[in-house]
Amino acid sequence: MFCPSCGFNPIPEQATTCPKCKCTLNAEAWSVYRPASMRLRFLAALIDHVLIGLLASGATQWALAYIHTHKHLRPHQTLLIGVLQTSLLLIAFVLVTSIFSTTPGKSLLGLKIIHAKDGRPISFWQVVWREGVGRFLCMLFLPVGYVTAGLKHYRFRTVADMLAKTIVVKKRSPRAPH
């Protein structure tokens, strides 16, 4: 028997949890989804970053125009506008991700974020961990944070995924199960 999620082989017949990736072996999700490859995840991240970049620059343009027309604003008020709009963008991103279990870039490529153990839908707090704490740590320790994303046995999960107990998956095509 092999693990339907990470491919680990062999697994004892009576096992209910994969000794390698710790997923629930009989979860329905693993027959529907496979771990998304690093190439697909990289492309999705690229699309998301361009989109967020565009949104952020739009928001900055708006803030600059607002500050320009309200010249009486003090420096700390200007700073507050910047912090507010950044937080709003972040909250919006986390909300959209937790509601749809995907990001715009991922959804374009047919990718989805699910619970790493049994494929359950992700919660709001998992997204907060993944995008907040996890992403921050990945950026701090860049090579270490992403090195696991290149490994099949880790199901291409980043450190952010491990912290948040999430996995990025793609629907299996009916013809090629792997």
Least distance from Zn ion to the Cβ atom of residue 141, Å: 25
Nearer to Zn ion, 98 or 166 (CB): 166
Identify which of residues 5 and 98 has a Cβ nearer to Zn ion in the complex: 5
In angstroms, give the least distance from the CB of 168 to Zn ion: 15
Cα(119)–Cα(142) distance, rounded to whole angstroms? 27
- What is the number of other CB atoms lying within 10 angstroms of the CB of residue 117? 18
Phi and psi angles of residue 24, each rounded to the nearest 5 degrees, phi first: -75, 120
CB of 33 to Zn ion, least distance (A): 13
- Which CB, 49 or 152, lies closer to Zn ion? 152
Q: Report the nearest approach of Zn ion to the CB of residue 23 (Å).
A: 5
Q: 106 or 155: whose CB is closer to Zn ion? A: 155
- Distance from first CA to last CA of the chain, Å, rounded? 16
Q: Which CB atom, from 18 or from 113, has the smaller least distance to Zn ion?
A: 18
Residues near Zn ion (CB under 5 A): 3, 5-6, 8, 18, 20-21
Tell the smallest beta-carbon distance from residue 178 to Zn ion (Å): 14
Residue 152 or 171 with smaller CB distance to Zn ion: 152
61/55 Cα distance (integer angstroms): 10
**Which residue in this structure is represented by tokens 């870039």?**
105
Dist. CA 21–CA 32, nearest whole Å: 17
Question: Tokens standing for 135?
Answer: 């992403």
- In angstroms, what is the minimal distance from the CB of 124 to Zn ion? 26
155-177: buried (b, 16+ CB within 10 Å) or exposed (e) per residue? Answer: bbbbbbbbbbbbbbbbeeeeeee
Beta bridge partners of 33: 171
